[in-house]
């Protein structure tokens, strides 16, 4: 486990190490990439699965070099992209099937994929249920999905 987290122990949560995977992808292809990821990894997070985050669109830039599949460019070009962010409780060789799936679904020759060693906290079920800050102990806020109201 990352040294920073070795000393954290709690009856309220546990710490699990793994990898944070960040994928820049044109917005139009993001759903396809995410579905390919989900075919390999359920993206569990405690009592939930399919836990992923997609950023708002931003601008990715790059310049194609002569050896690239695309025609070389003199200046950087720009593409509107989102970033998919996931956590998997895996490291090293165990990531290979997931990375192959991302490469398969991604429209780029050289996808921008970052692998960051990470740790996450997971709640211990059944604690803090009466906490007044929990959404189920309040009037439903606008952000609460209809299925959970």
Considering the domain boundaries, does residue 84 fall inside one?
yes
pLDDT of residue 1: 54
Considering the domain boundaries, does residue 42 fall inside one?
yes
pLDDT in tens, 87-110: 999 999 999 999 999 999 999 999
Domain with residue 32: its CATH number is: 3.30.70.120
Considering the domain boundaries, does residue 5 fall inside one?
no
Considering the domain boundaries, does residue 138 fall inside one?
no
* Residue numbers of the domain that contains 55: 27-125
In which band, very low, low, confident or very high, does the pLDDT at 115 lie, cut at 50, 70 and 90?
very high
Considering the domain boundaries, does residue 32 fall inside one?
yes
CB pairs under 8 A, 24+ apart, for 133-139? Answer: none
Of the chain, the end-to-end C-alpha distance in Å amounts to 38
Higher-pLDDT residue of 139, 106: 106
Domain count, the chain: 1
pLDDT of residue 8: 83
Tell me: pLDDT of 56 over 90: yes
Considering the domain boundaries, does residue 132 fall inside one?
no
Considering the domain boundaries, does residue 22 fall inside one?
no
Structure tokens at 41: 């990894």
Range with lowest mean pLDDT among 56-70, 106-120, 135-149: 135-149
Tell me: pLDDT of 57 over 60: yes
pLDDT of residue 145: 87
Q: Give the whole-angstrom CA distance, residue 82 versus residue 80.
A: 7
How many C-beta atoms surround the C-beta of residue 97 within 10 A? 13
Higher-pLDDT residue of 94, 129: 94
Rounded to 10 degrees, what is the CA torsion of 110, 90, 39, 26? -30
Q: What is the pTM of this model?
A: 0.89
In which band, very low, low, confident or very high, does the pLDDT at 71 lie, cut at 50, 70 and 90?
confident
Considering the domain boundaries, does residue 149 fall inside one?
no
């Amino acid at each position: 486990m990352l040294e920073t987290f070795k000393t954290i122990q709690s009856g309220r949560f546990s710490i699990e190490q793994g990898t944070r995977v960040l994928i820049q992808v044109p917005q139009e292809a993001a759903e396809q990439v995410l579905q390919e990821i989900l075919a390999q990894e359920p993206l569990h997070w405690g009592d939930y699965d399919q836990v992923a985050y997609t950023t708002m669109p931003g601008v990715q830039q790059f310049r194609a070099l002569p050896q690239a599949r695309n025609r070389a460019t003199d200046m950087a070009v720009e593409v509107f992209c989102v970033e998919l962010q996931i956590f998997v409780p895996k490291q090293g060789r165990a990531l290979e099937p997931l990375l192959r799936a991302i490469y398969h679904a991604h429209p780029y020759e050289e996808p921008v994929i970052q692998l960051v060693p990470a740790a996450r906290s997971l709640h211990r079920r059944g604690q803090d249920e009466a906490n007044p800050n929990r959404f189920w102990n309040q009037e439903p806020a606008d952000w609460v999905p209809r299925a959970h109201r």
